[in-house]
A and B are shown apart, each in its own frame.
Chain A
């Protein structure tokens, strides 16, 4: 059974801090790892990672995958109150009729002014 574990479960920081969110996984026949951000509505897609060691970057957010150690990190630099959200990590196997994802429990990030 595929498994995704995120840590920490919650995090409170102040504006300007840098945070690192962790995602470790066990999946049969790994295809990709995805990060989503969820505010008070639908999760929105951030990154998809398929190759080890290649950093994906979007503004102050970046993510990297380590396929040997089976984990990914999501970094947010110079945090802002608008970064407050639940960050979800999910993995996709090669198999599966709909390429269904397995999600972690999420990290609740709160950025205080």
Chain B
């Protein structure tokens, strides 16, 4: 079974802090994704990566950066957390062949106070 893990289930940070969210997958998938999920807005893509050290902006990259130094690990960084970044953050991975679906981690609920 594909396993995608995220470093924390719940996180509380203060405004202005630097925040790291880590995601690890064990299926040697090339593609990894970071989403945020807010009520009524669904999943919105922040950044994705299709290979080590490769990254592309998604639909809402402002205020975020990412790092992919190893194939299995994809980190989301909030350089200076703000209250409007309070959200559920979901990581996903996907291979290039069958099966085609994305596999999701359990999510990190981040609260910025």
Question: Chain A: residues with CB nearer than 8 A to chain B?
Answer: 4, 6, 9, 32, 34, 36, 41-45, 48, 88, 90, 92, 97-106
Asked if B107 contacts A103 (CB within 8 A), the reply is no
> B106 in the interface, Cβ–Cβ < 8 Å?
yes
Chain B contact residues, majority secondary structure: strand
B81 located at the interface, meaning its Cβ lies under 8 Å from any Cβ of chain A in the complex: no
Contact for B101 among A4, A42, A45, A105, CB less than 8 A = A45
| Complex contacts, A92 vs chain B, CB 8 Å | 100
Tell me if A43 and B33 are in contact (CB < 8 A): no
B25: CB under 8 A from chain A?
no
Q: Indicate whether A101 sits within 8 Å of B102 (C-beta atoms), given known contacts A42-B90, A88-B42.
A: yes
**Residues on the B chain within 8 Å of A48, using CB:** 100-101
Partner of A106, one of B42, B90, B107: B42
B43: which of A9, A45, A97, A103 is its contact (CB, 8 Å)? Answer: A103
**Residue among B31, B42, B103, B105 making CB contact with A98, cutoff 8 Å:** B31
The smallest beta-carbon distance between B110 and chain A, in angstroms, is 16
With A98-B56, A103-B42, A105-B41: A43-B94 Cβ-Cβ less than 8 Å: no
In the bound complex, CA of A88 to CA of B43 (Å): 9
Min CB gap A50→B, angstroms: 9
Which residues of B are found within 8 Å of A104, using beta-carbon distances? 42
A9 engages B101 (CB within 8 Å): no
